Structure 1
Amino acid sequence: MRVLFTVFAAKPHLYNLVPLAWALEAAGHEVRVASQPDLTEAITRTGLTAVPVGEALQLADSFQAPAADAERDTAGGGGGWRRLSGVTETRPEKLTWNYVLGTLTIGCSMEYEHVAGQSMTDDLVEFAGAWRPDLVIWDALTLAGPVAALACGAAHARMLFGLDYNSAMLDTYFRLLGEQPAERRDDPLSDYLSGRLSRYGMDFDPAMARELMTGQWTIDPTPPWMQLPVKVPLVPVRYVPYNGPSSLPGWIHDEPGRPRVCLSLGMSGRELLGGDRVSGTGAAASDPTVLDMAEALAGLDAEIVVTLKSGQLSEGHRLPDNVRAVDFVPLDALLPTCGAVIHHGGFGTVGNVLTHGVPSLTIPAPWWDETALGEHLATRGAGLLTLPQELTLDGLCADVARLLAEPSFLAAAREVREDQLAVPSPSQAVPELERRAAGHRSVPRGAHSSSAASRRSAFRR
């Protein structure tokens, strides 16, 4: 079987796909990973085969952080992607028709087109038509994937990177759309999808909309107890950590003689926001920096390991003796040696936390589901949650001291680890993917439009 993965140029989203791609290759299938050219090196460093498509995305350069102001949604975390489209909103009182219509209008015209735009889709459709994959697995924000699959007749599955807010918003959208009088029944989603398909000679039927947005089925690495109550066909797969190519420092397995605490913003915070503050976008200049937090934590009887990007520690700055600053250490190797971890709630980081059963303090970033994941961990008793706007250095130290001293946190963290291990691993999920792919393949439907066909092909030389 030929399997084409596609993901927009963001390393955390790529790394979420890697263990499943490895499992498919290990089972004897041919695997390719398509993304914008600025992810090519990261793909090849995983040992997988890259297919550059479209123009460079340069996500870090294009990210515009909103300023802190009175409109910031403190209940939901605010900022970033949340501020742009509002797709992560779940409060019923907020989900009016005008709100949902605005969310889908902005999502279709800006968000989806930004991360997986026309040039990427053109090249992906062309490559898929030449290579003819049996299955396309696409990152949940990379909507070029289902278009390419439909054009070449491949089965296709969406791979989640966290809670399925897209499906929840679509459920609300379709319900409210059906309730509108004819004169108010604007449908930006169908307009967007119709335009995408027509470029490749394919007709659009509104009945296709949900499948194009959520896949013929969804591969979900989120633990079942965290999932939203949405109704989509699921293939559960255990989250398996992949933190990127790395080597282990010699000190990592040394016995520090005291509990070890990890403080990490995660990859998104470091690469897209500069990594200065856990609160990320919208942080006031007076808010504690990661360095402030590390130095405050030095007052605990613990070894503090803090990830700092180059430039965050000025030349000549001396850290307390029990604070170790590192540029990068793979969490998969570091966390088993830790008694607690402080993190931003990103899905990859939380996956590592769950895998190793470490008590944690979540100070959520504003990207997607960080607040909700932190709430889930706190509800299970496996950690604590502090919203960025509530963070104080004294409160931080008190919370970490509790995580280290109270045995209930470790016991709960080990329980959620056992829940994690009960979910099928990527290799165990492969037979189900094979079965579903065989049942969903279809006749190719796409034909290059005159504009796309006139472009010089890089894939048929």
Structure 2
Amino acid sequence: MRVLFVSAPLLGHVLPLVPLAEAFRRAGHEVLVATAADALTAGRAVKLPVADVAPGFSFGRTARRMMLRHPLIARAELAGTAGTRGVALLFGAVNERLVDGVAAVTDRFRPDLVVHEPLAVAGAVAAARRGIPAVRHENNLFDGAVLAAVTAGPALRRHRVEALPEPLTAVQIAPPELVGERTGTPMRHLPGTVGGTATPFPVREGRPRIAVSRSTVDGPGSGGLMRAVVAVAGEVDADILLVRPERGLPADLPRNVFTAGWVPLDALLPTVGAVVHHGGAGTVLGALAAGVPQLVVPGPGDRRHNAGVVERSGAGWAMSATAITADQLHRLLSDYGLRMTAGRFRASIAARPHPDSVAAQLAAIG
């Protein structure tokens, strides 16, 4: 069986697809990942075949163009309050750019099944164009059916496809305790990685550890989180682990602050007592899978929504970077209720079907 995976051209979008793609490959199926720009790194790092469907594509340039044309929506998007208005404009334009390349790859590769994430509806359009069954692979905390619907228009019009057909199923990686009951095929969240070392930080026996992670997408509204933590780190009786440090940090960091570049979250998170991060869906789910309490700083796009989801779940808190204090970080490590709730999420996620089982199920119905 040949399976085509289609992702938007962003690292955080393709990583959640990697475990299922690898499961299909382990089962002996032929797999190809169609994406562009930064997302190409992920497929190559795990040695999955990758097709660049939009050579020279720049997500940043596309985002800036949208912001200039729609300043009010852009302002709301940066504040995390635009709902689906910003994502419809931005990823509608992204998919219009991707869809010709995805269609060409589909014609060459001739897949038996197309698996696409909600913001890569170019995959669904290409599949519909050739009558190939498609599966939507959820990779965020929004309802993927809504995201696909609001972003599909430009790609549909470009290829004269009347409407998106219903997918065979939707692979659901977020537990219902977090996002509510959603129709589809449940699957265990396994953090996708792009390499790095499993022991990036010194281990000091008896010292609690807090990881601090930021977005893989640089841009307005993405900075300040690490600077806020570093500002109070000297008052915290714990080691602070900065993953991919942001610019503008002091030259002389407190003695309990350590830094590293790319780090596999599935290796790092089980070794820490808490995580402070930007609110990306992959980090939210990774922390829950590890049973780690989290402090989420709301930001642009879906990150404010995700921060609210985490706080309502009881597995973490949402607060602005300016509100972070040493006391908050101590409480994050010691709060019994947070730890118990995060542990329940870990058990719930571990009980969901492994990607190997889901690959076998999809191969049978595809």
Tell me which interval the TM-score lies in, with the shorter structure as reference length.
0.7 to 0.9
Matched, 1:410 2:339: yes
Question: Among 320, 329, 332, which residue is 1:400 paired with?
Answer: 329
Task: Say which SS state the counterpart of residue 159 (structure 2) adopts.
Answer: helix
Kindly provide the amino acid, as one letter, of the partner of residue 401 in structure 1.
Answer: H
Preserved CA contact (<8 Å) 1:256 1:303: no
The equivalent residue for 2:211 is 262
The 3 A distance-change label for structure 1 pair 51 and 411 is same
1:243 pairs with 193, 197, 205, which one? 193
1:381 maps onto 2:314 in alignment:
yes
Aligned to 1:161: 139
Is the CA contact 2:78–2:220 (under 8 Å) kept in the aligned structure 1? no
Return 5+ residue gaps in structure 1 as ranges: 88-102, 174-187, 279-289, 438-461
Query: Residue 364 of structure 1: which of 298, 301, 305 is its match?
Result: 298
1:328 matched to which residue of 2?
262
> Any conservation in 1 of the 2:3–2:31 contact (CA below 8 Å)?
yes
Deviation at 1:146, TM superposition (A): 1.2
Change over 3 Å in CA distance of 1:345–1:113 after alignment to 2: closer
Alpha-carbon offset, residue 246 of structure 1: 1.1
Describe the shift of the 1:56–1:170 C-alpha distance in structure 2 as closer, same or farther (beyond 3 A): closer
Query: Are residues 1:430 and 2:359 paired?
Result: yes
Q: CA deviation at 1:210?
A: 5.8
Q: Secondary structure at the match of 1:247?
A: coil
Return the alpha-carbon distance in structure 1 between the equivalents of residues 115 and 295 of structure 2.
33
Structure whose alpha-carbon radius of gyration is higher? 1
Q: 1:311 to 1:402 in 2, by over 3 A?
A: closer
Separation in 2 of the partners of 1:34 and 1:333?
Answer: 27
Change (3 A) 1:318 1:387: closer
- Contact map agreement 1:155 1:216 (CA 8 A) in 2: yes
- Over 3 Å counting, the alpha-carbon distance change for 1:5 and 1:161 in structure 2 is same
Residue 340 of structure 1, CA deviation: 1.3
Aligned residue-pair number: 362
1:98 aligned residue: none
Q: Say if 1:250 and 1:155 are closer, same or farther in 2 by CA, change over 3 A.
A: closer
Deviation sequence 1:293-333 (CA, Å, 0-9, x none): 2131320111111234474346xx21111111333332222
Q: CA deviation at 1:365?
A: 2.1
Do 2:95 and 2:155's aligned partners in 1 also have CA atoms closer than 8 Å? no
1:449 maps to which residue?
Answer: none
**Aligned-residue CA RMSD (Å):** 3.1
Please give the secondary structure, in 2, of the residue aligned with 1:349.
helix
> 2:290 aligned with 1:340, yes or no?
no
Letter in 2 for 1:375: G
**Do the aligned partners of 2:211 and 2:241 also contact (CA within 8 Å) in 1?**
yes
2-structure distance, mates of 1:246, 1:3: 27
1:354 is the counterpart of 2:288: yes
Q: Report the CA distance shift for 1:192/1:318 in structure 2 as closer, same or farther (over 3 A).
A: closer
